[in-house]
Amino acid sequence: MDSDILIIGGGFGGCGAAYESRYWGRNLNIVIVEKANIERSGAVAQGLSAINCYMGMQWGENQPDDFVRYARGDLMGLVREDLIFDIARHVDATVHKFEEWGLPILKDPKTGRYMREGKWQIMIHGESYKPIIAEAARKSASKVYNRIMVTHLLMDELHSNRVAGAVGFDMRDGTFYVFRAKAVIVGAGGASHIYRPRSVGEGMGRTWYAPWSSASAYGLLIPTGAKMIQMENKIVLARFKDGYGPVGAWFLLLKAYATNAYGEKYEASWLDQIKSLVGKYADTQPMPTCLRNHAMLEEMKAGKGPIYMQTQESLDTMEKEETGWEDFLDMTISQAVVWASQNIDPKERPSELITSEPYVMGSHATCSGAWVSGPEDLAPEDYQWGYNRMTTVEGLFGAGDTVGGSAHKFSSGSFTEGRLAGKSAVKYVKDLQGDAPQVDEAQIKKLKELIFRPLENYKVGRNEIVAGTVAPSYISPLQGLQRLEKLMDEYAGGYSTFYVTNEPLLNRGLELLDMLKEDIEHLGAENLHQLQRAWELHHRILTAEAVTRHTLFRQETRWPGYYYRADHPKLDDAEWHVFTASEYDAKTGDWRMSKLPVHHIIK
């Protein structure tokens, strides 16, 4: 399949890329390839109750400079300010388009403005948020391929650092697809399930970030040699226990508050200890997300758990009660089910809070992802080498979780970043003047054999099984996933160690990852669904190794509450006010780690 622009992933980043690519490239062939179905795919598949990135510039509420300061403060000083400013100055226009397309946005009856949940958030009726945005993308694309698992990116046979397309397979009939393209925009998802989730047994699939987000944003890019940054900047969420229900609306809009088991508000009591770890960053207002986590963790370790959200204190009107329930019913129905099943009426009793397992992503309150070129009018010289949102691989662009350094974009910001990448990709394609990349047929043949090998492994190896699922010659994707989750949880700072790791633990984790990588060459897949799971596992393992190596390289604890280096327990601005970067050589398996400068362009 030939195209001018190939968009991998139909989430908000990919949808934004398709919409804007069509505006600037009226006659271009624009193709979207989506693992699920674009109508209900990506992190917003189940809906949202708020848009978390909106300036309100037309009403003088916030300016892009303000947003950069906020994101910088929350990330303890380390963000790409050029990328965040670029999103902030365009995001309002994106939200206004969403409303035009039919998204119901709540409004303050007194002012007529959008109803604020907090300084940056506005409330929506968002159960159908994704289908509304997907419609715009479908109408913009030349073709949408649903149910295609993209496993690898293709490189130009004449230019080793130039992308040429992608390969994958249809998960319904097994058709092998080769997508040749002049430019590729990766808008795939970040990583859940590289760490062991708190939910176990039949509840294993219940996670905060979408369980189908299988690290393809990174697993596709890393083998190309694209430079990655901040992969150690994992996110841990404070959420309602077991259902992973959101807390934002409860804290910000309903003014609920958290206490320990004895009814004490605990955050302020840990401030002196936090200052001893992070210095001046403890005075940031609002308190950075990771530091609020840290206070909760310390309170639980002190034996004062469980931690409670005092919901009954805030549901004093019918309107507030409806808002509280809709917050879940719009996007996390499981939390409403948990409350019902445990006989919890939030008007009468508080509900437990807990921290989640870690996730790796570039679109929420963290910024793992690819090192990309910034906007021409904003980016410092060493942040700008070509087209906006292009990675260090020529013709390969990113949006959403894929892009590192641009935290706090959420849904509207990811769509906006997709728009920015789409516009740049169109310019790149037009500048090529028909110079299409060349695809090596031998490379394609080799990848096809590799992709379908798990089916052959199973076909041969299943005859050796007498009973059960343990095979002498292959492992299943689930067995591999469970090994990965246990390994990362225990050695790379998961919840079972209170997110603590150190150099010996990380090095041992890398040893075990090497063993796991040897074994996944012998994955067995009994059908196409399991073949999908096999390649999701490949992407997760590669991402997990990047996380482990970045965590080992940064010899400080920059984000207590997300993870801790016990051997380097304090923040160290003198040595580590930098981005960590990695480049992977797929031919040798070697990783090259380095530091990149952090420039503060907003005062």
Compute the distance between CA of residue 158 and CA of residue 153 in angstroms, rounded to an integer.
15
Q: Is 456 a catalytic residue?
A: no
Q: Residue 390 corresponds to which amino acid?
A: M
Structure token pair of residue 318: 């019918």
Check 208, 250, 339, 535 and give the catalytic one.
208
Check 193, 196, 364, 540 and give the catalytic one.
364
Q: Residue 176 corresponds to which amino acid?
A: F
Residue written as token pair 């150690």:
232
Q: Is 502 a catalytic residue?
A: no
Q: Is the peptide bond before 380 cis (omega within 30 degrees of 0)?
A: no
Q: Is 351 a catalytic residue?
A: no
Compute the distance between CA of residue 468 and CA of residue 584 in angstroms, rounded to an integer.
38
DSSP assignment of 500-513, as one string? EE-HHHHHHHHHHH
Check 411, 412, 414, 582 and give the catalytic one.
411
Q: Is 117 a catalytic residue?
A: yes
* Beta-carbon count within 10 A of 522 CB: 15
DSSP assignment of 205-233, as one string? T--SS-TT-BSHHHHTTGGGT--EE-TT-
Q: Is 270 a catalytic residue?
A: no
Check 22, 89, 196, 239 and give the catalytic one.
239
Residues 6+ apart with CB under 8 A from 432: 182
Compute the distance between CA of residue 296 and CA of residue 579 in angstroms, rounded to an integer.
27
Cα-based distances in Å from 221 to 1, 393, 397, 463: 21, 9, 10, 37
- 3-state DSSP call for residue 183? strand
Q: Is 411 a catalytic residue?
A: yes
- 3-state DSSP call for residue 376? coil
- 3-state DSSP call for residue 464? helix
Compute the distance between CA of residue 70 and CA of residue 78 in angstroms, rounded to an integer.
12
Q: Is 327 a catalytic residue?
A: yes
| Dihedral sign, Cα of residue 222, residue 228, residue 233, residue 238 | negative
H-type alpha helices, 153-288: 216-219, 248, 271-278
Check 86, 156, 327, 330 and give the catalytic one.
327
Check 86, 117, 357, 536 and give the catalytic one.
117
Residue written as token pair 């490949």:
538
Q: Residue 150 corresponds to which amino acid?
A: V
Compute the distance between CA of residue 81 and CA of residue 84 in angstroms, rounded to an integer.
5
Compute the distance between CA of residue 169 and CA of residue 151 in angstroms, rounded to an integer.
8
* Beta-carbon count within 10 A of 115 CB: 17
In the beta sheet, which residues pair with residue 585?
590
* Beta-carbon count within 10 A of 594 CB: 13
Q: Which active-site residues does the annotation give?
A: 52, 117, 208, 239, 327, 364, 411
